[in-house]
Structure 1
Amino acid sequence: MSAQSVEASAESSHMGAGSLPDWVFPPPDGYTADVFLKMRDLPRHTELIDGSLIFVSPQQLWHSRVLRFLTDELDRQAPDDMRADQEMVVKLGKRQAPEPDVLVVTSAAAEEDDSRTYYLPEDVILAVEAMSPSSEERDRETKPPKYAAAGIRHFWRVEKDDGRIVVYVYERDPATREYALTGIHHARLKLTVPFDIDIDLTAVGQRRH
């Protein structure tokens, strides 16, 4: 996700401190996930990373198409005990509540309560981030270790290379609790884990018939 921190937003604002909402100014130790999940009136798709609020910038058309395409394909191909979801917060820890672009979760979690606003790590089978220029460091360096440490077994990072989709596939090593790269996929994404997957990456953005 492309985003900028609350602190940067506050510093660059031309408004006086009295004109800003209270949540712009975090507590000394940052926000906890429990407090964050109860906050209202935040901009859509706000995330909590290391206690700091992260805001998203306007979504690129490429990003939107990739998310919709992967969510549809994963949900269509997933077994009955799994479902694909999109842009839902995952409460990873005390001060961590990121929002993966696409998720595969257990059907039990997806169908438990349609008013829920977040998942827990044990609900998540796969987390996917579609990288934009402003989210490069977070999607490559910040979020993956947090997902792995929380026990999420599978992670994909999706990038655009000269107009083409590239998917980097990772699996968690239980000994190191870190992700290991298992493949780089260009035109076609064919996997056997976390379930049998066969996706034509060249079809992103094409109208379905």
Structure 2
Amino acid sequence: MSVVPRASASDWPIPPEGGWTADDLDRLPNLPPHTELIDGSLVFVGPQTVFHARAVDFFNWQLQSVAPADLEVVREFTIDIDRQNRPEPDVVVVREDVVDDLQQTRFPAAAVVLAIQVVSEDSVSRDRETKPVKYARAKIPHYWRVENEKGRAAVHAFELEHTTGAYTSVGIFRERMKVDVPFPVDLDLTQIKARRAPNP
């Protein structure tokens, strides 16, 4: 039986009055990978599942292959929504003109065309409730939420309705996803599997 050492209080960052800010993510030492800032609080991400990793890889590569030249597709990169919110979509499509420095650590939300979240056990409420509201307020035009339905992907696609400032569903896609916005894609979602097919 292994014993996990208890962390002392001094090992954890102590939030300042009013909470952390978007700039703090770049300054705080020793944060775990993929730490997000939600409402001034640091959010640490749990271990990835194989489904999650394969879904992120799939959308990253598939969208890179069809995105117009003025757009860039990046995986697991934070976006600035406001002073207290710097979430990290699993895949983000941004205007190419904001990708101008190999040392940059975030993109402005105003440059984001599409944010994709692959739902994990520890992120269900954030991906279904918290993040879509924040992305809509930041006027990100498209949001896709990818769910694991018994080892198969189901993509819930949303588009910003400008008169209400909220997302409206444009469909739930299983097996095949064919849409024209934010650019034309025709995706075979059956390629995202929890288990690889055996070699013939």
- TM-score exceeds 0.5: yes
Q: For structure 1, which segment, 28-37 or 56-65, has the greater mean C-alpha deviation from structure 2 after superposition?
A: 28-37
Structure 2 length normalisation: TM-score?
0.91
Q: Take 1:87 and 1:15, find their aligned partners in 2: how far apart are those partners?
A: 27
1:38 aligns with 2:30: no
1:104 aligns with 2:104: no
How far has the Cα of 1:87 moved from its partner?
0.3
How far has the Cα of 1:134 moved from its partner?
1.5
* Mapping of residues 171-190 of structure 1, within 5 Å: 171-190=159-178
Report the counterpart of residue 85 of structure 1 in structure 2: 74
How far has the Cα of 1:157 moved from its partner?
0.2
Unaligned runs of 5+ in 1: 1-12
Q: 2:83 aligns with which of 94, 97, 100?
A: 94
Report the counterpart of residue 49 of structure 1 in structure 2: 38
The sequence identity of aligned pairs, in percent, is 41
Q: Take 2:8 and 2:78, find their aligned partners in 1: how far apart are those partners?
A: 31
Q: Secondary structure of the equivalent of 1:33?
A: coil
1:14 aligns with 2:14: no
How far has the Cα of 1:123 moved from its partner?
1.6
Task: Flag the structure with higher helix content.
Answer: 1
Q: Take 1:56 and 1:37, find their aligned partners in 2: how far apart are those partners?
A: 17
The answer (yes or no) to whether the contact 2:73–2:92 under 8 Å persists in 1 is: yes
1:72-116 Cα shifts (integer Å, max 9, x gaps): 000101111112110000010010000000011112223x11111
Counterpart of 2:166, as a letter, is E
Q: Take 1:189 and 1:124, find their aligned partners in 2: how far apart are those partners?
A: 21
How far has the Cα of 1:145 moved from its partner?
0.4
Counterpart of 2:32, as a letter, is P
* Mapping of residues 18-167 of structure 1, within 5 Å: 18=10, 20-21=11-12, 23=13, 25-110=14-99, 112-167=100-155
Report the counterpart of residue 3 of structure 1 in structure 2: none
Counterpart of 2:56, as a letter, is L
Q: Take 1:119 and 1:126, find their aligned partners in 2: how far apart are those partners?
A: 12
Cα–Cα, structure 1 residues 88 and 185, in superposed 2: closer, same or farther, change >3 Å? Answer: same
Counterpart of 2:53, as a letter, is S
The answer (yes or no) to whether the contact 2:51–2:151 under 8 Å persists in 1 is: no
1:200 aligns with 2:188: yes
How far has the Cα of 1:169 moved from its partner?
0.3
Q: Secondary structure of the equivalent of 2:44?
A: strand
How far has the Cα of 1:38 moved from its partner?
2.7
Q: For structure 1, which segment, 80-89 or 31-40, has the greater mean C-alpha deviation from structure 2 after superposition?
A: 31-40
Task: Tell me how large the CA RMSD over aligned residues is.
Answer: 1.5
Counterpart of 2:161, as a letter, is D
Q: Take 2:107 and 2:15, find their aligned partners in 1: how far apart are those partners?
A: 24
Structure 1 length normalisation: TM-score?
0.87
